[in-house]
Structure 1
Amino acid sequence: MNISAVIPLYNAEKYIKETLDSLMAQTFPLDEILVVDDCGKDNSAKVVEQYSAQHPIVRLIRQPKNQGGSAARNKGLKEARNNWVLMMDSDDTIHPDLLKLQIKKLKEYTRVNPGVVAIHPAYIQMDADGNIIEKSEYRGQQLPYEETFGSLLVRNYIITPSGLLLNRNAALKIGGYKTNFFVSEDAEFILRLSREGTFVYLDEPYVYFRRHPMSITSDLKKASQAGKAILDVYLIDEVRDAVFRRNYPKEKNVLDFITLLFQFNEFDKGFELLSEMESDEEYEVSKLFLMSLYYLETNLYNEAKSHIVRLLELNDTHGAALNNIGVLFALNGDKEKAKEYFNRALILYPGYMDATNNLKELRNSHPTYRYTKRELRKNLLRYS
């Protein structure tokens, strides 16, 4: 079985050799490595040319002009000579056994399910110098085909193209990556692909996802818009049907759908559903959090605060609630109390972007505080 790899290249002179080394070190050898140069301003392409002279399976493909990462990935997918393609970003690396284990998983699944379209692993984050960041693993889960689309709408756990093994025919069938979609284009592609067939999950953090100033700046620009931009592609009824198709208790599906309604800015519809829910101890914390968001959005700060206080009595480690009540104290002039809550959130969730921002804003004469509008993942992307 032959596998291609595709890497879009743009201003990655510092990291591309390390990325290529990790591909060359695979215990299941790659058949070809296609690096698509997107006309950056550094010496990335020259580094790849020199590398290719020593390793002929590496081929540099030059775009005629800068067209963005999506166009570069599409170019690589079209040029690849094999039907399974390993996607990579030019600043990430992978474990030597990643591809071997993915192929093993693929063979196991295709014996009973020929409709596999992608295999993705767990991830771990590293800093700009390649040092692993403590407690930064991202893990997903194996889902049946009919539940994947709805689950990814609620929470995307495929956080980077790196390490994603794609069925080339399926990727091209859906038109590849959208070149006119500029916010979370990777997630948008994954959502479309999830409707074509089964995603197989490898529960090993074998992709090393690098956080460095250039990638962080890009992610920060996208972060606040990403959810709504993707959801705007789909009708609310389509989203609801997908969420309720998941094999979870009704209460969880309702709460997850309300979270998405809030991302659609459909706060009144979400509040109506919340008001209709019966009390359930297992989901009370999530319900209180969503109620507090509604009151924050409608500027009913006393009601928001009372719901967050009740929530923290049930769970005093709820990072988003700690941040949000800190904002309320800050707005009320109690900066010391606000600082206490922001710091508590950061101790529990190192690198928490909203809490980090809010601590800095406490020192400003005209502060801009950030509420957190959804419950936090166990481990966060590191933006600092």
Structure 2
Amino acid sequence: MKAVAVNHAEPQGPPPGAETLPLVTIVALCYNHAPFLAAALDSILAQTYPHLEVLLVDDASTDGSATILRDYAARNPAWELHLLPENQGNCRAFNQAFRRSRGEFVVDFATDDVLLPERIAQQVACFQRLEPDYGVVFTDAELIDEASRFVRRHYRRDAAGLHPRPASGWVFADVLSRYFISTPTMLMRRATLEQLGGYDETLAYEDFDFWVRAARHWRFYFLDQVTTQKRLHPSSMSRRGYRPNDPFLASTIRVCEKALALCRTPEERSALAVRLRWELRQAVRWGNFREGQDLYQLLQQTRAVRPLDWLLSCYAALRRR
């Protein structure tokens, strides 16, 4: 499916009765997204949900993104534009906008992605059917390349179901052991973010930490709809996260430390051990031997060490010398 686009019509006010619906805040975060900005911002304009608060945040882009954002803000005066003078990183930039926002629900929207027109309406309707202890509704996504060509869906589908298998409800152990949530599809309850104090600004990325801390206290719900187009980039953070000296791995270790402190049962510690074991293998594979030893020490605290884990820790210790 191609990226959504709309004509640049004159902005209109919300339809009658829109103010009775929950306000949804879209924090549109941009850093050097100029080639993709029009499709992203047009997809906000194309939303069928009428009660939106839009905050445009440019994190000191160097590619002309600010000019495009100024143009859209001028033509949509209800949108707030924030041009940050220095690069803050996603966590801090999001938090600054979140603290200014008012919405009952919040979307962290990277402006190289695309929202499908029914996205917000579908997720708000889902929230309204759920108990108030649900903090997140997430969905399936289409993955597109830099030319907006369809690549695949986030979840593979066959006779056995969806892969990776999505989890709903109390998903704390699930988020410890495996990746299954498409981050750009999340609609978050404001109360959830407020309880957490927003994102952890000391980290290089936000999603794993948010899942761990939120899932301890809030339920998550998987809505089986495609609501978002997530853009794939060859140089994305997840593709370079295990290169030596990249802050991605250090953040992952910090989140695993938090997760260990939050574990309450042997089953949860076993779930965390699955994650730590995988991270240990990646760290050693990419030559992050000090981090490998840190991960092994955390793995020991789960009381789930296997012989291969011990051998990898010995190898990492030898290579550090």
Provide the TM-score with structure 1 as the length reference: 0.61
Unaligned runs of 5+ in 1: 246-252, 276-290, 301-384
* Counterparts of residues 364-375 of structure 1 (less than 5 Å): none
Q: Separation in 1 of the partners of 2:126 and 2:299? A: 45
Match of 1:59 among 59, 69, 80: 80
Match runs of 1:286-297 below 5 Å: 293-294=308-309, 297=312
Residue 217 of structure 2 aligns to a residue in which SS? Answer: coil
- Aligned AA for 1:143? S
AA aligned to 1:152 is: V
Off by >6 Å, runs of 4+ in structure 1 = none
| Counterparts in 2 of 1:67 and 1:270: CA distance versus 1, 3 Å | closer
1:165 maps to 2:182: no
1:71 pairs, out of 92, 100, 106, with 92
- Identity percentage of aligned residues: 23
Q: Matches of residues 279-290 of structure 1 in structure 2 within 5 Å?
A: none
Cα distance in 2 for partners of 1:186, 1:272 equals 26
The residue that corresponds to 2:102 in the other structure is 81
Greater strand share, 1 or 2? 2
Q: 1:260 to 1:106 in 2, by over 3 A?
A: same
Task: Give the C-alpha shift of residue 118 in structure 1.
Answer: 1.6
Secondary structure of the 1:19 match is helix
Q: Which residue of 2 aligns with 1:211?
A: 232
Matched, 1:16 2:37: yes
Q: 1:136–1:108: structure 2 CA closer, same or farther, 3 Å change rule? A: closer
Partner residue in 2 for 1:176: 198
Q: What aligned pairs does 1:109-188 form with structure 2 within 5 A after superposition?
A: 109=130, 113-134=131-152, 136-137=154-155, 141-145=166-170, 148-160=171-183, 162-182=184-204, 184-188=205-209
Does the residue aligned with 2:111 lie in a helix, a strand or coil?
Answer: coil
Report the Cα distance in structure 1 between the residues aligned to 2:272 and 2:100, rounded to whole angstroms: 40
CA distance in structure 2 between the aligned counterparts of 1:123 and 1:158, rounded to whole angstroms: 10
Q: Secondary structure at the match of 2:151?
A: coil
CA contact (8 A) 1:258 1:273 kept: yes
Change (3 A) 1:223 1:95: farther
Distance 1:268 1:23, change over 3 A: closer
- Two-structure CA RMSD over aligned residues (Å): 3.0
Distance 1:166-1:258 versus aligned 2 partners, 3 A rule: closer
CA distance in 1, matches of 2:303, 2:49: 53
Rounded Cα–Cα distance in structure 2 between residues aligned with 1:271 and 1:150: 13
2:274 counterpart letter in structure 1: T
Q: Within 2, Cα distance between the matches of 1:195 and 1:140?
A: 20
Which amino acid is 1:107 matched to?
Answer: Q
**Relative to 1, partners in 2 of residues 1:14 and 1:294: Cα closer, same or farther, differing over 3 Å?**
same
Q: Give the direction of change, closer, same or farther, for the CA distance of 1:151–1:55 in structure 2 (3 Å limit).
A: same
C-alpha contact 2:259 2:272 (8 A) present in aligned 1: no
Give the Cα–Cα distance (whole angstroms) in 2 for the partners of residues 179 and 259 of structure 1. 26
* Offset, 1:41: 1.0
List per-residue Cα deviations over 1:135-160 (Å, max 9, x = no partner): 65376534223xx1221011132242
With 92-101 and 218-227 compared, the bigger mean Cα shift is at: 218-227
Q: d(CA) in 2 for partners of 1:79 and 1:107?
A: 24
The structure with the larger Rg is: 1
- Does residue 28 (structure 1) correspond to residue 49 (structure 2)? The answer is yes
Give the letter for the 1:118 counterpart.
V
**Separation in 2 of the partners of 1:295 and 1:174?**
35
Instruction: Give the AA of the match of 1:70.
Output: C
Whole-angstrom distance in 2 between the partners of 1:267 and 1:11 = 37
**Secondary structure at 1:104's aligned position in 2?**
helix
CA gap of 1:194–1:299, structure 2 versus 1, over 3 A, is: closer
Aligned to 2:241: 222
Residue identity opposite 2:238 in structure 1: D
Q: Distance in 1 between matches of 2:303 and 2:188?
A: 41
Kindly indicate whether the alpha-carbon contact (under 8 Å) linking 1:7 and 1:76 is maintained by their aligned counterparts in 2. Answer: no
CA deviation after TM superposition for structure 1 residue 105, in Å: 0.8
Given that residues 122 and 207 in structure 1 are in contact (C-alpha distance below 8 angstroms), is that contact kept between their aligned partners in structure 2? yes
Separation in 2, partners of 1:187, 1:261? 13
Greater relative contact order, per chain length (Cα 8 Å cut-off, separation 6+): 2
> Which protein is richer in helix relative to its size?
1
